[in-house]
Amino acid sequence: MDISLKNVEYRYQNNTPFERLAISDVSINIESGQYLAIIGHTGSGKSTVLQHLNALLKPTKGTVWIGNREIRAGRKEKNLKEVRQKVGIVFQFPEHQLFEETVEKDICFGPQNFGVSEEEAKRRAKEAIKQVGLHEEILSKSPFDLSGGQMRRVAIAGVLAMEPECIVLDEPTAGLDPRGRKEIMDLFYRLHRENHVATVLVTHSMEDAARYADEIVIMHKGRVQKKGTPYEIFSVPEDLLELGLDVPEVVRFQLKLEKAFNVKFGKICLTAEELTDAVADYLRGGTPK
């Protein structure tokens, strides 16, 4: 299932004195099975774009295609449930949405809203809780007795249990410790690799964008500033720095290294492993790749 935004504009509180243009002329294409990262400053319109991906917001201009469903500005839309089942959103601080008595009921809430039977929902709950790295015993506990990190995982499990074709993540690791961060990011990456779930990651972290994404979109002041693969994006660090954005540590290190020793590795390395190999090759006297 592809999702595409065509010349989308969105104004908050349209036609009031509080009217505010959030995004304009945004065109993005998300193919099925793709991993796309959206990066940009706070207030650059990332979150607004994200809410268009399952019709939580309807564009004030332009069109959004979600699979073969068209959502066009100025038209009343009904029966959006189908769309919402296909595109699961993990909001920022998703633990705020927990409300049921037990973890199991909370995870089953989403699937059951989409007409999944109780047994099937429970089966999915069991699977989802394992996917997020928690014990099955937790299913019978109250979500409010858990730690913050566990609550986050339960909330994520609630979205996974809907079995969406596309997962949209809005800073899913905000406020987690480094280990929890890595675990959560790896979990989504595994899902993406193994089940070919299309993934959209909205993030501040250049490291995450560089490590996981096939394609990166940079938002700036409500517009798409740049699009490309991580290599394309990070090989011109000047552009990013000009927007006040950072490049991944690894890239920064490589650039400093190249300058200090007056060498060129020929390509931008996005992970520590890649850079190690490049440096090792160079030290062995081989031609840098």
Report the alpha-carbon angle 12-14-18, nearest 5. Answer: 70
Is the Cβ of residue 78 or residue 284 nearer to other proteins in the bound state?
Answer: 78
**Which amino acid, 240?**
L
Is the Cβ of residue 78 or residue 264 nearer to other proteins in the bound state?
Answer: 78
CB of 161 to other proteins, least distance (A): 10
Is the Cβ of residue 155 or residue 240 nearer to other proteins in the bound state?
Answer: 155
CB of 111 to other proteins, least distance (A): 8
Report the alpha-carbon angle 184-128-171, nearest 5. Answer: 30
Give DSSP secondary structure letters for 211-266: HH-SEEEEEETTEEEEEE-HHHHHT-HHHHHHTT----HHHHHHHHHHHHHT---S
Round to whole Å and give the CA distance between 277 and 288. 10
Is the Cβ of residue 98 or residue 247 nearer to other proteins in the bound state?
Answer: 98
Distances (CA, A) of 25 to 57, 61, 71, 246, 269: 15, 9, 16, 25, 32
Is the Cβ of residue 91 or residue 212 nearer to other proteins in the bound state?
Answer: 91
Is the Cβ of residue 172 or residue 237 nearer to other proteins in the bound state?
Answer: 172
CB of 128 to other proteins, least distance (A): 13
| Residue spans of beta strands (DSSP E) within the chain | 3-12, 20-30, 35-40, 61-66, 69-72, 87-90, 166-170, 198-203, 215-220, 223-228
Sheet (strand 69-72) strand order: 20-30, 3-12, 61-66, 69-72
| H or E segment to which residue 123 belongs | helix 118-131
CB of 100 to other proteins, least distance (A): 8
Give the footprint of other proteins on this chain (CB under 8 A).
12-13, 15-18, 51, 54, 56, 78, 81, 84-85, 88-89, 91, 94, 96-99, 109-110, 113-114, 144, 158-159, 162
CB of 268 to other proteins, least distance (A): 36
CB of 253 to other proteins, least distance (A): 38
CA within 13 Å, CB half, 35: 20
CB of 96 to other proteins, least distance (A): 6
Is the Cβ of residue 109 or residue 212 nearer to other proteins in the bound state?
Answer: 109
